[in-house]
Amino acid sequence: MLITLTSDIGWQDYLLGAAKGRILQAIPNANLADISHQLTPYNYPQAAYVCQNAFKNFPNFTYHIVLANLFETKPKQLLLAFHNNQYILCADNGLLTMITETRPELVIGLPFEDGKTINTLYCIDIFATAIAALGAGNKLETIGEPDISFTEKTPIKPSVGPDWMEAHVIFIDHFENVVLDVTRDGFEDIRKGRNFRIEFRNKQFINQLSQTYADAAHGDALALFNAAGYLEIAINKGNAAGLLGLNTFVEQASNSYLQNRLFYNTVKIFFQ
């Protein structure tokens, strides 16, 4: 039984090891795979990007436990969803529909027992119990509450006009390459064969797509579509995020003017 773990816990805390121990107590034959434990807390677009593009590469019927923003609000239930032949277990905080980009095929609620102290390890126990029940042949609808109401969030999308697009920074990788919420299909739909110009606030710009990082000279900025199919901004042998003054977009910062002034978390693309 293959189970993945994704979280915002980090690697320093004991919780990650304890969570794996609790899973193995409930499911001794579990094969555990880590996706990431360095998600930025409360950054839903980043978490959705990481989960969505990792989950689809796993074998059918893999179980994906997501421990992100578990206690942003007081939880009333946990969720277990089945979508595109994958099981997703997460908090009822809106992240689920950002990962699936639509309402999942089937969602059940996993309730908390009265009188229990609700913490991360208790949530792991609930997830592990549900997975063990499914592994024993129980139907999904019988191990929780079907047809429940749950929190839904809409994935963020670029703002677009007839000859422009303003994209959000949704992820910055280890090399400080910057990923935008622009897919190849979305880009080409707006582009319509026209020339383009990606502009940055330090007056640099990019007006062509590269195939690899080596297509640009050392220190030059470039744009390419990454392995997940999203538009990525990089600097060959450099850190694009730092040098271009970019940071990830966080939905909870409601003052967009202040957000852009401090973090520059959007990038404008013009077509002509």
Q: How many domains does the chain have?
A: 2
Indicate whether 238 pLDDT > 70.
yes
Q: What pLDDT score does 251 carry?
A: 57
Are 89 and 143 within 8 A, CB to CB? no
Q: Would you call 107 helix, strand, or coil by DSSP? A: strand
Is residue 62 a contact partner of residue 86, using CB atoms and an 8 Å limit? Answer: yes
In the numeric block, the tokens 């942003």 are attached to 72
**Are 10 and 82 within one domain?**
yes
User: Which residues, 6+ apart, have CB-to-CB distance to 188 below 8 Å?
Assistant: none
Same domain assignment for residues 120 and 196: no
Tell me the whole-structure pTM to 2 decimals.
0.91
- What does pLDDT average to over the chain? 92
Same domain, residue pair 139 and 168: no
Q: What is the mean pLDDT of residues 210-227?
A: 94
Domain boundary among 85, 120, 146: 146
| pLDDT level of residue 263 (50, 70, 90 thresholds) | low
Q: With respect to residue 164, please indicate whether it lies within any of the assigned structural domains.
A: yes
- Alpha-carbon distance of 184 to 41, in angstroms, equals 28
Query: Who's near 187: CB < 8 A, 6+ residues apart?
Result: 165, 225, 231, 269
Alpha-carbon dihedral angle through residues 111, 4, 249, 83, given to the nearest 10 degrees: -60
| Whether 38 contacts 100, CB under 8 Å | no
- Beta pairing, strands 2-7 & 63-67: parallel
Per-residue pLDDT, 258: 39
85, two tokens: 């032949």
CB atoms within 10 A of CB 35: 18
Tokens read off for 272: 């002509």
- Residues 40-89 have pLDDT tens digits of 999 999 999 999 999 999 999 999 999 999 998 888 899 999 999 999 99
Sheet of 63-67, strand order? 31-36, 2-7, 63-67, 86-91, 77-83, 106-111, 145-146
- Arithmetic mean of pLDDT, 157-179: 95
Tokens of 36: 């990431």
Q: Which of 146, 180, 210 is the last residue of a domain?
A: 146
Is 70 exceeded by the pLDDT of residue 234?
A: yes
> Residue 152 falls within a domain, yes or no?
no
Residue 182 maps to which CATH number? 2.40.30.90
Partnered with residue 34 across adjacent β-strands are 5
Query: Does residue 44 form part of some domain?
Result: yes
Between CA 246 and CA 244 the distance in angstroms is 6
What pLDDT digit, counting tens, does each position of 105-160 carry? 999 999 999 888 899 999 999 999 999 999 999 998 899 999 899 999 999 999 99
pLDDT of residue 73: 84
Q: Would you state the structure tokens that stand for residue 61, as one six-digit string?
A: 């019927």
Q: Can you tell me the distance from the alpha carbon of 169 to that of 265, in angstroms, rounded to the nearest whole number?
A: 5
Q: What is the mean pLDDT of residues 207-218?
A: 94
Full domain range(s) for residue 115: 2-146
Same domain, 123 and 202: no
| CATH code, 8 | 3.40.50.10790
Confirm if 150 and 43 have CB atoms less than 8 A apart: no
Mean pLDDT of 201-216: 91
Q: What band does 255 get if pLDDT is binned at 50, 70 and 90? A: very low
- Is the per-residue pLDDT at 165 higher than 90? yes
Average pLDDT over residues 19-26: 97
128 shares its domain with 180: no
What values do phi and psi take at 195, rounded to 5?
-70, 160
Same domain, 137 and 13: yes
Determine which of 10-19, 70-79, 250-259 has the lowest per-residue pLDDT on average: 250-259
Which of the listed residues 146, 180, 202 is the one where a domain comes to its end? 146
Cβ atoms of 104 and 88 within 8 Å: the answer is yes
Share of the chain above pLDDT 70, in %: 95
- Residue 100 pLDDT > 90: yes
